[in-house]
Amino acid sequence: MTRSRREEVVDVALELFAERGYRGTSLDAIAAKVGLTRQGVLHYFPNKKRLLVEILRRREELNREHLLAEHAGEDWPGQMAEVVAYDHEHPGLARVYSVLMAESVTEGHPAQEYFRDHYATVRERMVRGFTERWGERLPSGLTPRAAATALLALLDGMQQQWLLDREQADHPEIIEDVLTVLFGLRR
């Protein structure tokens, strides 16, 4: 049962970080909700920061942006629409990611370096993928760097809008249409 209790701690931390932010969540609150003592939680994670790292790592496993750059092709805006639809079905992870990302620009936040490196790495990987496929200009005329920056911004920004108003069910279609235009692909 050790493994599943550890998973339970991660799940509860994810939920509370999404509800109250990283800084607004104490180890005691996590412990209380799991039904452990503070020492019990510390058995699995020596401090709150290690829990944060675990959650970011879990998100990383979904690894969606990496996948994207490597498979950039004609039907790729449609694949992206599926990714957005998937996020809408799993709002917990989307919300914790959005909250932690924005919180990370505050002073001395433990996730700041993670997000800075994460963006730099994903953007570079996309730029490489786009350049291999299309050279110095995409069919739309944009540079690979402009397209990668815009794509990441669209995913983050649209997720933010959707988190505030989940009635917006048309985001998958919007991302498909917008990327088709932005990259200059066939409709």
Binding stretches for a second copy (CB under 8 A): 18-21, 23-24, 95, 98-99, 101-107, 112, 115-116, 119-120, 140-143, 145-146, 149-150, 152-158, 160-161, 163-165, 168, 170-171, 173-174, 177-178, 181-182, 184, 187
Percent helix, strand, coil in the chain (nearest 5)? 75, 0, 25
Task: Supply the minimum distance, in Å, between the C-beta of residue 29 and a second copy.
Answer: 13
Closer Cβ to a second copy, 34 or 99, answer by number: 99
User: Least CB distance from residue 138 to a second copy, whole Å?
Assistant: 9
Nearer to a second copy, 93 or 146 (CB): 146
Q: Could you tell me the smallest distance in angstroms from the CB atom of residue 24 to a second copy?
A: 5
CB nearer to a second copy: pick between 23 and 38: 23
- DSSP codes, 45-77: -SSHHHHHHHHHHHHHHH-HHHHHHHT-STTHH
Listed residue (40, 18, 13) closest to 29, CA to CA: 13
Q: Nearest-5° angle of CA 99, CA 47, CA 39?
A: 125
> Please, which residue, 6 or 177, has the CB nearer to a second copy?
177
- The two structure tokens encoding residue 102: 């924005």
The least CB distance from residue 184 to a second copy, in Å, is: 7
Q: Which residues contact 104 (CB under 8 A, 6 or more apart)?
A: 111, 112, 114, 115
How many CB atoms are closer than 10 A to CB 183?
20
Of 42 and 102, nearer to a second copy (C-beta) is 102
CA torsion, points 87, 92, 94, 96, in degrees to nearest 10? -170
Of the pair 20, 57, the CB lying nearest a second copy is at 20
Q: Measure the CA–CA gap between 29 and 33, rounded to whole angstroms.
A: 6
CB of 166 to a second copy, least distance (A): 10
Residue 100 C-beta: closest distance to a second copy, Å: 9
